[in-house]
Chain A
Amino acid sequence: MPVTSESPLLSPELMARLERLELVTRKVFRGRMKGERRSKRKGQSVEFADFRNYVAGDDLRLLDWNLYARLDKLIVKLFLEEEDLHFYTLIDASMSMDFGLPTKLYYAKQLAAALGFIGLARADRVRIETLGQGVSERGPILRGRHNVRRMMQQIEAIRPGEQVSLTEGVKNFCLRNAGRGVVVLISDLMDKGGYETALKYFVSHQVDCFVIQVLSQEELDPDVKGDLKLVDCEDQDEAEITVSAPLLSRYKQTLNAFTSGAQDFCSRRGIHYLLANNRVPVDDLVASHLRRRGLVR
């Protein structure tokens, strides 16, 4: 049952909690603009980074006069630059995400909103995209707290029904966005073509990648009975089953193998993996699980 929840993606209480958090990346990237986090680039901040010899054209304000007095050499004092962070959220908006209560897509949107809010609050560059988004449809990069409202509108505009495979979507995303940063992929990974190729694109793109696999409670613990013909909502593929205890246990085994396979695949490649159940509230997920995983602090 598709649920298009009319409730706001983020409640004011949640926003208040999220304000205290910040996005973390283990890798240090270059930002575009001055931000609130360290950058690879040396710049102006209070944090000392290195010394180097003065070359003509350097800002004289950066000369270390004390050293000049002692060594009679012009040495420039370098400080670490504090820059902003590229934060991308990639939402899988395929038909399969339109299941569960709340729907997985709504859940993904909530998650994206929460993370985006954190990013905006910390003056990071936040971009929300979906897998099937064309180049022309992509929204602007948002920065600054005043863009929260825009981001919300952007997220709410996402509708299920995109017909693009995971691999294709990720590939397009990587081609579109050259900037390094943190990418959070929110998907159910249920692609018959497999998720491995898609994730390898992230690895080769050298982004700090988080994969949040959202599965509905109905998928984790199916409550079905009798002789059924299961129809895949994306490709109308059919599977005839007679529900029985062995079949259910077999399904759970398969599901476990699938999720643990994904986790294994990710951890081998330095990708953070998190399995999210749509019944777990988003604030819990962000405040505890993601924090434990190191995406937020």
Chain B
Amino acid sequence: MEGLFRDTLGPGGWFVLGLIPPAIFALYFLKLKRQAVEVPSTYLWHRAIEDLHVNSLWQRLRKSLLLFLQLLLIALAMLALLRPGWQGESLTGQRYIFLIDKSASMSATDGLQGESRLADAKQRVAALIDQLESDMSAMIIAFDEQPDVVQEFTDNHRLLRESLERIEPSAGHTDLRGALELADGFANPGRVMSEDGKREFEVTEQQQVELYIFSDGRFRGVEGFSLGNLQPKFLPMGSFASQNMAITAFNTRQSDERPELQQAFAKVENFSERAHAVIVELYLEQQLLDAVELKIPAGDVAAAIFNLPGVSEGKLIAKLVIPSGFEDKLSIDNKAYAVLEDSRDARVLLVTPGNSVLEVALSTERMKRLAKVDKASPDIMKQADFKIQMQSEVYDLMIFDQCVPPAMPLASTVFVGRLPPQEEWSQGPAQESLFAPQIIDWQRSHPLLNLVELGNVQIADTLLAKPPLGGRTLVDSTLGPLVAIAPRDRYEDVVLGFEIVGKDGDGATFNTDWPRKHSFPNFWFNVLEYFSRRQGNARDHHSPGSPVELRLAGRTGTLEVELPGGTRRQIELASPGQLDFHETSELGVYAVSDKGKVVKSFAVNLFDREESDIRLQTKQDGEEGVQLVDSLSIGYVDVTAELSTSPVRRELWKNLLLGALAVLILEWYIYNRRVYV
């Protein structure tokens, strides 16, 4: 009764209803006890009847027409009470927006007949398009991280279907907000314009727009969003029980124990209800390097670490070998890519007349792993060799302690106790030293001041480090800014207004008690980490769809980027040494080459637990303990998931009752007019 029919009466009701047809029969035959009428003669009647008896079966049928009509009437009523219906989606409204999730998780093949969720969603949308009346219009938006208007509002069904077919699955994350904002823009054109405190209210007629969201809900709700005229409907795709095994992290790093050894690290997650063993294979280019079996408990993570002795560069691929008996529904996260590069440490030059605490702080073991620190005295600045180095990006970072170079080098810099030789920083005439500033605030959120506590630091003399336009004050004192950072081209300059070690008549003296605090080595570690990261570390992970910024020192003109699929793109460098690349929708390794020579590679990986965990998010129904698809929260609205098995029933009972009414009227007409057939 669940599929085509639905029971609406209890057994008692059906019993009573079941009595009606026999009652009609009984009444019909009772009615046949004919009324006796005396006539002058039956002579003519007999002759008339005799003629009609010739085709008596047909005559009988004609005679019983009223009976048949009554039986038909009651049959229609019974059928209507059974509430026949079928799966369908009834459309009420005039304007529709179909939001179709095309993110990575929508590629999961747990749809109907083994098709992907996206294919399922497209079928559902196609079915809805078929139901659109002529006065209804619809638009289609596909979204992953970025919304994409596939088709603007139209009532042309063919156009809608064609546009629908064009939607291809992507490997991106899911971000509903962008799609909602786009839909909102189409649905609520210019609601309130606020300009100079004056509010202009839109005058166009508000129109309700039905918003169908086809997604697997693998994303967090959208907060702080007002739906306005949008009437959302969430149609979840996929199932609760879909299994998936995914590599959620893969990178290379130096071994902690043996810094010269490269390691590959893969994190594998099991998104299923049972523990499974899985083999992770590691390939370099096409060659199998290593394999390891991981036993992963249900819903847990396991890590595989591969040592890579003797391997210095190349394209690393980690592959999952799915065990038989495990239905891995999403395959794109079974592969992960990494680029192994000849790890060039950041090079740092410390120019100082002598600063033991700083030198010690820059020579710890951890610092050595981050960067190679060279030390020089200020005399070096007079050499011609140094001037060349200044202009050729040999160093990633230059630290000038108590000295100032003649010109700014092509590198990020840190000035200690001096201001850079630029007008922006010097701000007019030479500054007087100020005495005993009290630190009142510092930017704890800035990476340079990560875990740096400066509240207890005493400083004797200082210059004020007022950053030029575009810079930021990092440490503020009662007298003014003490530490500031400002960008310069693609570099950044950090200025510490106070010396750490100063010179006075007695020789070297401490200008501050900072070196005696924990925050001092932390700060310099942050400095090295911050600036060595900025050189464009290969370990950075790029998400599909997000733009990639590469620093390619010394490259100009046009570079060629080879996509994982093999297609090539010519990219003009926006500025010398900086490549911005946006076409990162494919997963894999992208190779940047200059005149045929690969100069840089980067990998794009999914690495998104939300996308890989393809099970539909559930909530427990308190009363029945039934698994339900979790609702979608958009702003303050909870959009309940429509059941994917039967989203809307198309009911027939109204038509049946109308038919029964028509039969009743026909019967009445026939009875009164005595017109049989």
Interface of A toward B, CB cutoff 8 Å: 95-97, 99-100, 104, 188, 190-192, 216, 219, 224-234, 237-248, 250-251, 253-255, 258
Contact = CB atoms under 8 A, between A and B. Distances in A.
Contacts of B32: 227
A231 B36 contact: yes
A190 B35 contact: no
A163 to B, nearest CB: 14
B37 A229 contact: yes
Given A190-B44, A243-B674, 12 more contacts: A95-B40, A188-B40, A188-B41, A192-B43, A219-B40, A226-B35, A229-B35, A230-B38, A230-B39, A232-B39, A233-B39, A251-B45
A29 to B, nearest CB: 34
A236 to B, nearest CB: 9
A226 B37 CA distance: 11
Given A245-B676, A246-B52, A250-B51, A230 B37 contact: yes
A228 B41 CA distance: 14
B63 A254 contact: no
Interface in B30-70: 31-32, 34-49, 51-52, 62-63
Nearest to A226: B35
A258 to B, nearest CB: 6
Contacts of A95: 40
B670 to A, nearest CB: 10
Contacts of A245: 673-676
Contacts of B31: 227
Interface of B: 31-32, 34-49, 51-52, 62-63, 673-676
Contact of B49 (A216, A231, A241): A241
A194 B290 CA distance: 119
B52 A232 contact: no
A233 B42 CA distance: 9
A238 to B, nearest CB: 7
B63 A230 contact: no
Given A227-B32, A242-B63, A251 B48 contact: yes
Contact of A230 (B45, B673, B676): B45
Contacts of A241: 45, 49
Contact of B52 (A96, A224, A225, A247): A247
A233 B676 CA distance: 29
A246 B65 CA distance: 14
A250 B48 CA distance: 6
A229 B52 contact: no
Given A96-B41, A243-B674, A245-B674, A228 B49 contact: no
A7 B650 CA distance: 74
Contacts of B35: 226-229
16 contacts: A96-B41, A99-B39, A188-B41, A190-B40, A190-B44, A227-B35, A229-B34, A230-B42, A231-B39, A232-B39, A239-B42, A244-B63, A245-B675, A247-B52, A250-B52, A255-B44
Given A229-B37, A231-B36, A246-B52, A251 B676 contact: no
A186 to B, nearest CB: 15
A15 B344 CA distance: 147
Contacts of B675: 245
A66 B36 CA distance: 81
Nearest to A252: B48
Contacts of B52: 246-247, 250
**Top 6 A-B pairs ranked by shortest CB distance?**
A229-B34, A190-B41, A96-B40, A239-B42, A251-B48, A232-B42
Contacts of A100: 40
Q: Which of B36, B42, B675 has the most CB of A within 10 A?
A: B42
A240 B45 CA distance: 9
A191 B39 CA distance: 13
A103 to B, nearest CB: 10
Contacts, number: 99
Contact of B62 (A228, A232, A244): A244
Contacts of A233: 38-41
A235 to B, nearest CB: 9
B41 A244 contact: no
Contacts of B47: 254, 258
Contacts of A242: 63
A254 B37 CA distance: 20
B24 to A, nearest CB: 16
Contacts of A227: 31-32, 34-35
Given A190-B43, A244-B674, A245-B674, A239 B49 contact: yes
A238 B676 contact: no
A190 B37 CA distance: 18
Contact of B41 (A234, A243, A253): A234
Contacts of A219: 40, 44
B44 A247 contact: no
A98 to B, nearest CB: 8
Nearest to B60: A242
Q: Which of A191, A240, A248 has the most CB of B within 10 A?
A: A240
Given A244-B63, A244-B674, A228 B34 contact: yes
A134 B152 CA distance: 106
Q: Which of A100, A104, A227 has the most CB of B within 10 A?
A: A227
Contacts of A248: 674
B44 A216 contact: no
Nearest to A99: B40
Contacts of A216: 40
Nearest to B64: A242
Q: Which of B31, B32, B45, B675 has the most CB of A within 10 A?
A: B45
B447 to A, nearest CB: 99
A234 B675 CA distance: 32
Contacts of A99: 39-40
Given A96-B40, A239-B45, A251-B48, A225 B34 contact: no
Nearest to A242: B63
Contact of A231 (B38, B62, B676): B38
A238 B48 contact: no
A99 B35 CA distance: 19
Contacts of A224: 37
Nearest to B63: A242
Nearest to B31: A227
A241 B44 CA distance: 12
Contacts of B676: 244-246
A240 to B, nearest CB: 6
Contacts of A244: 62-63, 674, 676
Contacts of B42: 230-232, 237-239
Given A227-B31, A246-B676, A239 B46 contact: yes
Contact of A232 (B41, B49, B51): B41
A247 B41 contact: no
Contact of B37 (A188, A231, A253): A231
A227 B676 CA distance: 13
A194 to B, nearest CB: 10
Contacts of A226: 34-35
Contacts of A96: 40-41
Q: Which of B35, B37, B40, B676 has the most CB of A within 10 A?
A: B40
B25 to A, nearest CB: 15
Contacts of A243: 674
Nearest to B677: A246
B34 A240 contact: yes
A242 B66 CA distance: 12
A247 B40 CA distance: 18
A242 B59 CA distance: 10
Nearest to A227: B34
A240 B35 CA distance: 9
Contacts of B34: 226-229, 240
A228 B51 contact: no
A145 B62 CA distance: 61
Q: Which of B49, B51, B675 has the most CB of A within 10 A?
A: B49
Contacts of A188: 40-41
Contacts of A239: 42, 45-46, 49
B64 to A, nearest CB: 10
Contacts of A247: 48-49, 52
